[in-house]
Structure 1
């Protein structure tokens, strides 16, 4: 817990009542800061004397390649009707192997540079989807292309096996 608090403090920069010399240089400081990971829109600059730049720490560059399914309609819209191939990761928060496989999958999907996307389905929250796709073991990964199940596997796989699985999908 203490590490998280320290990390939050380190990842946010606050300049309050900055001296004149720093105020004139604030725009020069923004360009290097813009290379950090921004989630959403960049924070607005309200007053040059109290410039506050908040940013979230990025655990991995794969943070934009996956999304969590919210409900059945969201699944239909973002997975079934997707024009790109989709890897659907059925997982559970209490599952140790799921926590190992998830980051590996995100890393491999990120390597595809947008050709494949990844949807994450928590089976505890979306039991209906797990039943519909006959998921009895987690982690289960299902490859869906043009609304049809193309391939699937269960359990943890190595990065090499994941790469072969994704290449077959494309």
Structure 2
């Protein structure tokens, strides 16, 4: 059943509302990729009978670190204060704290960013910042460590930690 629905949407992607069939590659040639969203570049966008998915462009305040150079660029070189969450996939408290941190950082509306570092993938960063247990959270401002804590924290403690980083 799900396969039939998927095929139906795929084949109706090339149909316009007038019923004329347009080849799938022509539809894609009229679109460009911008910020992860599909937008048309032609004056007359192609309307399809397939269901349209509307996605808003959210401000990305939480991101995963890919490598050491990415860490240098996005965390150490950031003008905005950054919370660095050193975590592991197998760590239960890390998952709980990660959700709480994301919520607290989102409340700050871009005043602070959050970088997530998986210690199993990036052991060099964990050693460099002397992470001996997970979860460990480090607050960085202008490339230097301001404050840190180890272990799970309550939401009000996290908000106080962020307020201290952001300042008055």
Fold shared, TM-score > 0.5 on shorter chain: yes
Q: Report which of the two has the higher share of helix.
A: 1
What TM-score does the superposition give when structure 2 sets the normalisation length?
0.72
| 1:48 match | 47
| 1:126 match | 122
Aligned alpha-carbon RMSD (Å): 3.2
Gaps of 5+ in 2: 19-34
Does 2:106 align with 1:107?
Answer: no
Superposed counterparts of 1:17-166, under 5 Å: 40-44=36-40, 47-51=46-50, 53-54=52-53, 64-166=60-162
Seen in structure 2, the aligned counterparts of structure 1 residues 50 and 91 have a Cα distance that, compared at 3 Å, is same
Partners of 1:140 and 1:48 lie apart in 2 by: 49
| 2:31 match | none
For the pair shown, the structure with the greater C-alpha radius of gyration is 2
Partners of 2:76 and 2:128 lie apart in 1 by: 13
Seen in structure 2, the aligned counterparts of structure 1 residues 49 and 116 have a Cα distance that, compared at 3 Å, is closer
What TM-score does the superposition give when structure 1 sets the normalisation length?
0.71
Offset from partner CA, 1:12-40 (integer Å, 9 cap, x none): x88935765xxxxxxxxxxxxxxxxxx72
Partners of 1:63 and 1:85 lie apart in 2 by: 15
Offset from partner CA, 1:76-100 (integer Å, 9 cap, x none): 1111111011000000111100110
Partners of 2:134 and 2:95 lie apart in 1 by: 11
The 4+ residue runs of structure 1 with deviation greater than 2 A are 13-20, 42-56
8 A Cα contact 1:106 1:118, kept in partner:
yes
Q: What is the CA-CA distance between 1:42 and the residue it aligns to? A: 3.2
Among candidates 153, 163, 168, match of residue 164 of structure 2: 168
